[in-house]
Structures are given as structure tokens and as C-alpha cells.
Amino acid sequence: MTTIIISIVYAALALPFLANAQLSGTVGPLTTRAEKAATKVCNILDYGGVASATTDNSAAITSAWAACVDGGEVYIPSGKYGLGTWITLSGGSAISINLEGIIYRTGTASGNMIYIENTKDFEFYSGTSAGAIQGYGYEFATGECYTPRILRLYEVTDFSVHDFVLVDSPQYHLTFDTCTNGEVYNMVIRGGNEGGLDGIDVWGTNIWVHDVEVTNKDECVTVKSPASYIMVENIFCNWSGGCAIGSLGADTAIFNVEYNHIYSQNCNQMFMIKSNGGSGSVYNCAFNNFMGHTNAYTLDVNAYWTDETLAAGDGVEYYDLSFEHWHGTCADGENRAPIQVLCPSEVPCYDITIDAFYIWTESGDEELYKCENAYGSGPCLNDGTSYSTYTTTYTVTTMSDYTYTTMAGELSSGLGITASIAIPTIPASFFPSITPYSTLLG
């Protein structure tokens, strides 16, 4: 083990970084909300819906979708609506769902409460930014029901999901499975303080996730394989597991991904790339302008993540990854290294860049950086192209200008799993001093 004492000097917080990892084209619906509504409006109250939190409105929503499937808007007015039977909404083009009310889970099946598949030119939104879906996941935590997810999109193209809230899912909150040309924004996700309650999981191509707040104790916004041309910006991980790429196994295919302006407080990590064995690659990705405080881990690339079952293969290949302009604190930098890049000797990481990294420990007076078989430019990385096996630990004893700005609405503890979680309002900002790309509809 090599021990090196280093002192890092001041550098200003960077302007937004434009990486090679970019969207590959336009995202979002092909027709406007107004055009869809002008074609047809299918109010669920006209299809047997009842504004009651204990009445099952699944048949009404399904019938309204069928009536508007060739173009129009499914309208769920202000009020409370129960959902006791899960709904699958298939096909359709130039269709939207305007959720002005609040949907309450009353059923106990597994699966997905709302599953949208094989749809194009689609929009799911709240015109007042007051719509919400309440999953009552605390009942699952106490063993009273099964484990449904709230919302899943599968093979949906040219879409947007925005301006409503997902609360207390019994399992994952929002999943984008093999979707294309999508935009997700102006949302809050609030889950309980335990694992398995992911905020947003996304895989597919050409998807922009921005201006989102997540509270849970698992993934904040996570990219999974296969994925390409994914942009994740202006994310507030407000007491969460933190953002990640993974878990990765055989035939991993992730490239052209950018995370920019990510704020994390009291999270398990600011960002983690995780695998255990496996094959394939993650490359041409940028992780820039991270800020936060009191996180357990910070920058964690871990190809030996033993919480994941060992996959067949020598390891996933990580290369052409940049981590630039990180500011803030970690909880205990001596016991949980704020820089940790651990790669297998059979498949070393290379072309890694760590620059302008200003994270200091809240506990103790030193912190460690750990690297293993990782090559590039930055603390504890080896340069050159020989890629010989090595392990290095740096000891850092001073840090200049790790200053960070706190966010309004920071939670001081995780949300419980024994009572219902309150439905919040959508905030005005998701990263310090950054204005959201889109104004709230409400």
C-alpha cells in the first residue's frame, strides 16, 4: 500500500459541462397536449369512474384509454380515486393522460399498478402539477400486502412524463423499460427508508431525465443496461440511496451517458457504478457538477460489489469516464473513501479522469482515496498504458474550498415505513441556483 499526503487547492465551481455524451435527437411527444385534447377528451367519470379513494377505478381508466387510444386525452379530474386492480394500457398513438386528481392504491397484487406498453407520441402529466399516485407502501412493509410497482413504461417512444408526484410505492416507483426519445421532469418521488424502493430506473436510448427530487433509501436516478444517449440533470437526491449505474452483469452495453448537476444529501453515495463479474462495457460517460453533504460514499466505481451475485465473465470494462467538479462533504472519509475506483486485474479501468474533486470528511481529520487497477488522470489513478496490477491508497490531510450550498426542503431523516407518507408539492428548484428547464404547469 502506498500512502501519499496531498493538499488540494481552490478551483471555482464549473459552469455546466458539455460532454461527448449527448442525446442523439429530439425527445418528447410529437403532438402537443392541446392537439391531443382537441381531438378527443375521455373523462374517466364518463366511463364509470367514481371520485372515491376506496372505489376501484381501473375499469374506468381502461375504458377511457380504449376510447382515446387512436388520439386524445384521458382525463382524471381533481378528486380521490381508488385503484384496486392493476391496469395495462397498450398501443395507441397521440394519446395523453392528464392526472389532476390523486390515485390511491387499494389492491394487493404484485406487478405494476399502471403499465403502459407499445405506445408512441404519449404524455403523462398533471395540468395543475397537483396530481399524484399514493402507493401506501408502508402496508407492504408491515406485511399486509404484496409488492406492486407504481408506474412502468415498456417500449414507449416519443413520450414525456412530468408534473406529478409518486409517493410510497411498495416497490420501485418509476421504471422506463426499453423506451426511446423520452423526457421526464418536474417530479417528486417520496419512498420509505428501506431498500427496494428505487426512484427512477431507466434503460433504452435517447432519454432526458431532469428536474426531479427523490427521497428513499435505494436508487435515486439509475441507468441500467442496455442504455445509450441518456442525460440526467438537475437531480435532488434528498435522503436517498443516491444515483448509480448498475447493477451490471453479462453483456453490459452502456455508453454516451451524462449526469450533470446532481445534489445529494444524506445518501448512501453521490454516485456508484457497480458490478461483480459480468462482461460488456460502460464507456464515454460524464459525471460532472456534483454537490452535497453527509453522504456515506461519494465517487464509488466498484467492480467487486458483493451485494450483487457474481455474474459470468472476467468483469465489465469501464473506460472513457470523467468525473469533474465535485464539491461538498462525506460523513467519514477515512472509513469510506470518497474516491474509490476498484477494477479487476483481468479487465482494468482506463481513460478515467477525476478533476476538481473537493469533498472533505465531516468526521476526523483525514480521508482516503482507493484505486485498484484503474488508469487515467486524477488522484490515486495510475497513468500509462501498461495496465499492470496495482492497489493504491492515498491519504488526504487537507482540503481547500469544498464549500457547498444547501437546498431548501432538505430532510433531516429518512421517511418511515410504518405510516403513510404525505404527498408533497413540487419544488421550484432541484439544484442550487439552477432554474428548471421547464416551468411547472401549475
pLDDT (tens digit per residue) in 88-130? 999 999 999 999 999 999 999 999 999 999 999 999 999 999 9
Q: Which residue has the cell 395543475?
A: 128
What are the residue ranges spanned by the domains of the chain? Answer: 1-23+221-412+428-435, 31-217
Catalytic-role residue among 162, 293, 325, 327: 293
Residues 186-199: pLDDT tens digits?
A: 999 999 999 889 99
Is 293 annotated as catalytic? yes
Evaluate whether 408 touches 96 at the Cβ level (below 8 Å). no
Burial track 70-97 (b if 16+ CB lie within 10 A, e otherwise): ebbbbbbeeebbbbbebbebeebebbbb
CA 287/CA 312 separation, integer angstroms: 28
Q: What is the mean pLDDT of residues 380-399?
A: 92
Q: What is the mean pLDDT of residues 39-54?
A: 98
User: At residue 366, does pLDDT exceed 80?
Assistant: yes
Handedness of CA 335, 336, 337, 340 (dihedral sign): positive
Q: List C-alpha distances in Å: 391 to 90, 348, 352, 369, 394.
A: 52, 12, 16, 11, 10
| CA 363 from centre of chain | 28
Q: Is residue 74 within a helix (H) or strand (E), and if so which, with residue range?
A: strand 72-76
Is 162 annotated as catalytic? no
CA 47/CA 27 separation, integer angstroms: 32
The superfamily (CATH) of domain 1-23+221-412+428-435 is Single-stranded right-handed beta-helix, Pectin lyase-like (2.160.20.10)
The superfamily (CATH) of domain 31-217 is Single-stranded right-handed beta-helix, Pectin lyase-like (2.160.20.10)
Average pLDDT of the chain, as a whole number: 93
Catalytic-role residue among 198, 218, 300, 320: 218
